[in-house]
Structure 1
Amino acid sequence: MFKWLIIIHVLGATIWVGGHLLLCLRYLPEALKKKDPEIIKAFEKKYEIIGMPSLFLQVITGVWMALSVYGVYLFGFSNPVETAISIKLILLIAIILLALDVRIFIFPRVTKDNLWWLALHIIAVTIISLLFLYYGIAIRFGGV
């Protein structure tokens, strides 16, 4: 069972991190250069179909592995694996807060004049996603 949880988790991470790298490195520079938020909106509309389910799968499989396989307490910092898992949960909360901010406040009002604010959120989510990857790998090597 653990093998399947890892496969699903890594597949979700591939979609999530890869999608945000693509957005940040390919579409965001074009949108900023042209001052056109529609480029970002078009990407998000297509990516959201697989991006959000991949994040959901990562949360489910990650919590499942943390509790059943590693036997750790969520938000526990008593050993290196618990610390890595807890950091990933804190990063998840940050991603959720950024996503809510974008969905509720930024996307509905984004224009060429305030596109930079959306860009900061995209860059932040991409960096956090790479940190997810780092701490996930750290778990496989004994934690942090």
Structure 2
Amino acid sequence: MPIPKQPILIRIRLRHFTHDPERHPDPEAFKPERFMAMDGHTPEPDPHKFVFGFGRRVCPGSYLADATLFLTIAQSLAVFNMSRPENGDDEQCKPEFLAGVVSHPSPFKNAIKPRSLHHEMLIKSLEDIYPWQQSDGEALGHMTR
């Protein structure tokens, strides 16, 4: 029995909706202000309203995904100062993404430092509770059917 290709078509359509140059000028540029109403600027359609699906097929995990992402970002910003490296230029900080089913940002240079000695001790205490473990990525990479 052949595998239906509908999920791939849905992802392609969603990408078109979120990258339509008529609705989103310069869709590849990072411009969060495009979704805010300011000084005569009409906000562009918010993709959050449809990227998790719509109607009866909406993803039930969208609320969990939103909450997890918010908490991860808030906790990271609470303990780290993030900035460009001192000798970095704008070209080194330009966002680029790797192709694939799940797109990841390509490596880039930045400076991430604990906000204070207290924050550094907090981060190191978590390493004692949750030690670093090697992932199973290498083993999974060698699996065949």
User: TM-score under structure 1 normalisation?
Assistant: 0.27
Q: Is the radius of gyration larger for structure 1 or structure 2?
A: 2
Normalized per residue, which structure has more strand?
A: 2
Question: TM-score, normalized by length of structure 2?
Answer: 0.27
